[in-house]
Amino acid sequence: MRRLLIVISGLLAIVVVGVAIFSFVTVRKSFPDTNGQVQISSLAGDVEVKRDGLGIPQIYADTPEDLFLAQGYVHAQDRFYEMDFRRHVTSGRLAELVGDAALDTDKYVRTLGWRRVAEKEVALLDDTTLSLLKAYARGVNSYIDNRSSSELSLEYAVLELTGPDYTPEPWTVVDSLAWIKAMAWDLRSNMTDEIDRVLATEKLTVAQVEELYPDYPKGHRTIVGDEGTVRDGAFTAQAPAPTQEGLARSAVTSLKKARSSAEALPALLGIGDGIGSNSWVVDGDHTTTGEPILANDPHLAPSMPGIWYQVGLHCRTVDEACPYDVAGFSFSGLPGVVVGHNAKIAWGVTTMYADVADLYLERVTGDTYEYDGKQVPLKTRRETFKIAGEESQTITVRSTRHGPILSDLDEDAEDVGEAAQKNATRGSYEVALRWTALTPEPTIKAVFALGRAQDWDDFRAAAKLFTVPSQNLVYADVDGNIGYQSPGTIPVRRQGDGRWPVPGWDPAFEWKGSIPFDELPSVLNPDEGFIVTANNKVIGDQYPKLLGADTAAGYRSERIRELIESRIGKGGKGLDVQDMSSIQNDTYSANAARLVPALLKVELGSRYHRQGQATLEKWDLKQDADSPGAAYFNSVWRHLLELTFHDELPEAVWPEGGERWFNVVSGLLDKPGSHWWDDVSTPEKESRDQILSTAMQDARDELTMIQSRNPSQWRWGTMHKLELVNPTLGDSGVGLVDKLFNRGPYRVGGGGGIVDATSWDATEGYEVTSVPSMRMIVDLADLDRSRWIQLTGASGHAFHDHYVDQQERWRKGETVPWVFGRRAVEDATDDTLTLTSRGSA
């Protein structure tokens, strides 16, 4: 028996070692080579890929085609599965990869027709842009050719355990262009707000709904100011004479229920009111260097790997033939640098919240719909979906002159039509989407143009090509200039303000073109010496064009301005790179500054509950991860929103708790008898102080249950956690698989509506739903003093050294050196890979 046990133990040991070796080999099988030499056909000359200690590549070539071919190769080395996943999403073919769980996503994307639009955009490209996109695709394909799926990424090896063998298709130009449609979708502005307004009318009047969308707060400044306007077809900073101008809103009161079918889509960039960004730029008169400094941190959904990929793209000799010397943040799958700097200029982006999408209620009868008193044929097409392991399915997509009909797929959007049907005399009602991104306009040209731009005029010319998504663009250059430009295709409405769905049968609600680029707000070298954008209102009401009504309420932008002014005011030394980083990591809560004084005035009956309230007395209003006060305040905030609004709002539009709700509650604090404080489910009438008292009691009870009875042991980061989840296999439900690809959870500070914008959804819990996906600070006095960081790491390969090697620094609010000049790059280089032409071997 003893010998038998020894034999069994030996066999088990062999099995364990065998599994360990197999796992080790399988995991490392897809790790790319970053040293040595690789032969690639179609290169004109040698290309060097120099990587620093974080695996961030700086690429050197002699021609633009070689440069972007190498970028495609490098993206594929580090992130091909991420690229393949994205193109399956953007083409409506994700079910082919992961099965029927993705079928709803595919149906919705095909209905929108992202890839169909991208295919049309190819014909609109100039020869130079098309050649660079083709070069990028050749680079991707040079890497994936002759490699098995498991040699490309561990995700494929895991998928092969449960499904058929999968061989990725070659990369194409359309694959890159379609990704821009996904960007535009996630940043499309107020479509969700438009539907939520209608949904809220299930229980509320239109007037009550409008109370939940208050005006931009008085005293909160806009990006450009309150003097600019349009004169003679161009934007001017001069103040206009007082005028009365407005657009009548068509209230579609017959619509009782609707909800965004966008929830079928994965959050490639993010969803909810935490999606946005901070960016600002300060001129040399207010910096320690005497030259501008620019900062940017886009707020997007967390993912594993992070959404951004850092890269440098350098022509060895920068001239007209090869004009690129640029570094910054790219998207894998897309050539060029989306945000960053070149040798002359720097730029940052924030979501503008321009209103570029409208919902139209359509009267449909059979295969026709009504327009201007006539019946017009619906456009139809068939879409067939392949599903891994199952039989394919086919649907019919219907469209009107305004766009695809969403209610054919989405039950909530269908409810829009059903509610309106009560007043119908014929036919049925459907909901169609009109969206600027469904008109072919190749924004990719702007990405290349930004990389080449040398001055303000070049920058504005590039911005003019930035059609979708509409983004605030901030600017700085080595000559000391700073600026701001609004870009994008922003519709001009004949009637309505884009805040409510409109009748599609009435021509009065059509768009009549878009705002000309020269009329969009812009500023160069403002008198105050800095520009701040944080998704706040672009310009004052004197501006005669409608950009969009649902911007952020300006709490972040006001805090950034306050911190900048404190450093450049009387006796201030001016700002340096570290100051800019400190501002990016600021966790001060303007919401708490408004609410805490009211909370401290409320008398609580028991000593037990007063102990919770006492954490606010000495709290500095900063939401650091170790703060007891922040833990208690955010619990109070969540319970306050529930107690105040859940009784009167449909569940689908319960408050998420971001900046809009700061504004709503701030106004209600001055109205202690408002109907919102009353709980309509009880016979008595509750007041403001009763709700505040109950919220504090509930928060004390909650924190006692989930953390400690002792308030001094409460920590905001214990409940406010960040988990990095792989977009396909990270939610498999199989613990071992999830652990292979996911990382975290991590304790973090910050919060929604705060400069350090780690947002959370009050309807779900305290877990992080969006983050500063990267942080960058560009020093125009010395570009090699610039700093950057991203959420995870350069590699998309689980267990690779660079999978999450930037995460801890990111979590601490740190950045890493951003080398740019050739000498600085050489000094930082750990690995060098040389790509050579096969013909030169």
- DSSP letters along 582-620, please? HHHT--B-HHHHHHHHHHHHS--SSHHHHHHHHTTTS--
d(CA 380, CA 364): 13
pLDDT in tens, 428-437: 788 999 999 9
Number of H helices, E strands in the chain: 25, 33
Q: Tell me the pTM.
A: 0.92
The structural architecture, per CATH, of the domain 35-186+307-343 is Orthogonal Bundle (1.10)
d(CA 130, CA 444): 10
Catalytic residues: 277
Query: Residue 422: what pLDDT?
Result: 46
Query: Residue 14: what pLDDT?
Result: 46
Query: Residue 63: what pLDDT?
Result: 98
**Positions at the binding site for Ca(2+):** 194, 355, 358
**Positions at the binding site:** 194, 355, 358
Q: How many CA atoms lie within 13 A of 550 on its CB side?
A: 27
Query: Residue 201: what pLDDT?
Result: 83
**Residue 259: DSSP 8-state:** -
Give domain limits for the chain.
35-186+307-343, 191-268+350-553, 590-621+628-714
Query: Residue 246: what pLDDT?
Result: 23
Asked whether 63 and 44 are in contact (CB, 8 A), the reply is: yes
How far does CA 296 lie from the centroid of its chain? 13
- Residue 361 dihedral angles phi and psi, to the nearest 5°: -80, 125
The residue ranges of the chain whose pLDDT is under 50 are 4-5, 7-8, 10-22, 239-262, 412-417, 419, 422-426, 841
Task: Name the 3-class secondary structure at 92.
Answer: coil
